[in-house]
Structure 1
Amino acid sequence: MLKKLALAGLVALTAFVATVAPAAARTLDDVISSGVIRVGVNPTLPPLGKFDEKNQIVGFDVDFATEIAKMLGVKLEVVQVGSPDRIPFVASGKIDVVMGAMTRNPERAKVIDFTVPAHTEVLGILTTEDKSFKDWKEMNSPDVTFVQVRGSTPVKFIEDNLPNAKVTLLDNYPDAVRALAQGRGTAMIDVMDFMQEHMDRHKSTKWKIVETPVDIYYCSLGVAKNSTGLKDWLNVAIFEMHRRGKTDELWKKWFGMDMIAPVKVTPYF
C-alpha cells in the first residue's frame, strides 16, 4: 500500500511540475534582476528552522540562506514551507530555492535538481526507555508502528527496509513527536540532532535513542529543473562556504556542536 501511495504521489507531482515549472521557475539572471532570492525554510525543524519570540523564522537554514543572498548581492526573502509542500513550491516557482533538510535522492531528483551538499543528516531511532530495541533491524515487525512526517526521507527508508512495520503519517515534527510521547506509536526514524527541541517539550517522557545509527544522508539546496544557471552558481557559493569554514561556524552556533559527519571540501562537484 505504501508503495502504491508513494508511486501515485510521485506521478501526480511529476505531472504537476511538467505543466507549470518550466514557465514559472526563475533563472539566475531573473533572481539578480529582481534583487531578491526566495528561499523556503521549514520552521518545524529546529534548529534548522523555528519561530522566535517575535514569530520570525530563524535558525541554521536562515543564516545559511542569508550568507548565500549576501554573496549573490540580493536580499533574502524567507518563505515558510512544510515537508509535504517544499518540493511543489520550488518546482512551481513559488520559491527559488528550498532548504529544510532536503535529502537528495533519485526519486526527488526526477522532479527537482539538487546542489552539492550543504550539510549531513545522521539518522537514528527515537523511542522510549520501555522499549528494548538496540538496532533498527529488530523493528521489522507488525508490532512496531513508526510515527513519521509525511514527505520526509525516512518514510521511503521504512518502506524499503522495514516493510512489516506499520507507519502513521503526520504533517509536521511537533505533531509526530507529540504522538510518540502520548504512546500513539513505537518509534520514529529521523535526524536526532533535529529532535532535541521537540523532545524537550515533553519532559515527562523518558526518551531513548537506539544505540545503532541508521544511515548518513546528504542535504542539499533544491531548485527547479530549468534553473541550471542558479544551481551552478549555488554550487560554487556552497563550496566557498565550506572552504571558508562558514558552514561549520553556523552549524556550531545553532546545534552547539560540530557536524557529526562533516561534508568534506572537494573542488570536484
Structure 2
Amino acid sequence: MKSTRTFARTALAALMLAGITQAALADQFDDIKKAGTIRVAIAIGTPLFSYTDANMQPTGSDVDAAAELAKDLGVKLEIVPITTAARIPTLQARRADVVISALSITEERAKVVDFSVPYSAITILVSAPKDMKIANYADLNGKRVGLTRATTNDTITTREAKGAEIMRYEDDATLITSVVTGQVDIFSSTPSNMGEINKRAPGKNFEMKFSQLDSGLGVTMNKGEPKLKEWIDGWVTTNIKNGKLNAIYKKYHGRDLPTTVFKPA
C-alpha cells in the first residue's frame, strides 16, 4: 500500500513537472496568434524610420515594416511608443512582443535578446558644419559630440573617440533640436537626421565628415522564443527576396538598402 501511494505521488509530481515544463516551453508566437494582436515597440522620433506625420500619426519605414509583418501574420498591429533607450528594457519587461525600431544587430545586444536576420539597415556617420575640419576620431579630441543614448553610435563613438566630450540625448528628436539650437555642432547619427537638421537650420551646412558603420537592423525578440523567431526570420527572408522591404526602405530613405548589408538578388 505504501509503495502504491509513493508511486502515485511520484507520478503526480512528474505530471506537474511536465505541465510546468510545457508551459515554460510555450512560445510567444502562439500567444500572439491567440490574442489576435502583435505589440510592436517603436521609438517614435527617429526621422524616416519612425516619426509622426502632419496628422500626428506614426509613419516611417519601421512603422510600415511593422504593419506589413502584422498583416502577413494575420493579426492587428498595436504600436507601443517608447524612447530609444527603452527598446530592450520594454521587451524584457514583456510590455511588447517584438521591437522594430532601428535596433542594430550587435554581439553585445545578442547576449540578452534575439534578432531576426536583417530586415533593414542604418548608416552611422559623424557630421559637422562644412567649414569644420574633421576627418577621423582623433579630430574629435576636446570637442563636444552629440548623440542618442543607448544606440550603436553611442557605443562606437564612446569606444573610438575617447578624447571627446559626449553629450547623450534620450531620442533623435531631442538630439536634432540640440544641434539646430546650437547646443552641439558635431554629432554622430544618421543621414536622415542630418537631412532633418539641414532642413531646419539650412545656414549651418552640415555634411558627413566620415562614416562610422553600415549596420543591419533586426526585428528584436526575447530569447527562448524559437517558433516566433523562425516565423519572423522566414518573413524577413521572403520579403527581402521579393523586394517589399527594399521598397519600404526606398520610399522613405530615397535609396536602396545598402549592399554592404544586403547583396542584390
TM bracket (short chain): 0.7 to 0.9
Q: Does 1:128 align with 2:129?
A: yes
Which residue in 1 is equivalent to 2:178? 179
Counterpart-to-counterpart distance in 2, 1:53 and 1:192: 22
Counterpart-to-counterpart distance in 2, 1:185 and 1:195: 13
Q: Matched residue of 1:204: which SS?
A: helix
Q: Matched residue of 2:48: which SS?
A: coil
Q: Which amino acid aligns with 1:225?
A: K
Q: Matched residue of 2:204: which SS?
A: coil
Pairs within 5 Å for 1:152-171:
152-171=151-170
Which residue in 2 is equivalent to 1:221? 219
Counterpart-to-counterpart distance in 2, 1:203 and 1:26: 50
Whether the 8 Å CA contact 2:176–2:193 is kept in 1: the answer is no
- Cα distance, 1:181–1:72 mapped onto 2, change above 3 Å: same
Counterpart-to-counterpart distance in 2, 1:26 and 1:206: 50
Aligned-pair CA distance for 1:198:
4.0
Counterpart-to-counterpart distance in 2, 1:136 and 1:100: 28
Which residue in 1 is equivalent to 2:242? 244
Q: Percent identity, please.
A: 25
Aligned-pair CA distance for 1:131:
0.9
**TM-score of the pair, normalised by structure 1:** 0.83
Whether the 8 Å CA contact 2:180–2:197 is kept in 1: the answer is no
Q: Which amino acid aligns with 1:73?
A: G
Which residue in 2 is equivalent to 1:85? 86
Which residue in 1 is equivalent to 2:47? 46
Which residue in 1 is equivalent to 2:4? none
Which residue in 2 is equivalent to 1:199? 198
Q: Which amino acid aligns with 2:31?
A: D
Counterpart-to-counterpart distance in 1, 2:103 and 2:136: 23
Range moving further from structure 2, 218-227 or 182-191:
182-191
Counterpart-to-counterpart distance in 1, 2:27 and 2:40: 12
Match of 1:233 among 228, 231, 234: 231
Which residue in 2 is equivalent to 1:139? 139
- Of structures 1 and 2, the larger Rg is shown by 2
Aligned-pair CA distance for 1:194:
4.2
What is the root-mean-square deviation of aligned Cα atoms in Å? Answer: 2.1
Q: Deviations over 1:216-240 (max 9, x none)?
A: 2111111111222111110000000
Which residue in 2 is equivalent to 1:208? 207
Q: Deviations over 1:119-157 (max 9, x none)?
A: 122221111123111x2233341x211111111111111
Q: Matched residue of 1:85: which SS?
A: helix
Q: Which amino acid aligns with 1:155?
A: D
Instruction: Count the aligned residue pairs.
Output: 241
Aligned-pair CA distance for 1:264:
3.0
Aligned-pair CA distance for 1:26:
6.6
Aligned-pair CA distance for 1:265:
7.0
Aligned-pair CA distance for 1:80:
0.9
Q: Which runs of 4+ in 1 moved over 4 A?
A: none
Whether the 8 Å CA contact 1:99–1:220 is kept in 2: the answer is yes
Counterpart-to-counterpart distance in 1, 2:103 and 2:119: 9
Whether the 8 Å CA contact 1:83–1:172 is kept in 2: the answer is yes
Gapped runs of 5+ residues in structure 1?
A: 1-21
Q: Deviations over 1:185-225 (max 9, x none)?
A: 24111221343234312233221221x32222111111111
Q: Which amino acid aligns with 2:59?
A: V
Q: Which amino acid aligns with 2:156?
A: F
Q: Matched residue of 2:150: which SS?
A: coil
Q: Which amino acid aligns with 2:159?
A: D
Gapped runs of 5+ residues in structure 2?
A: 1-22
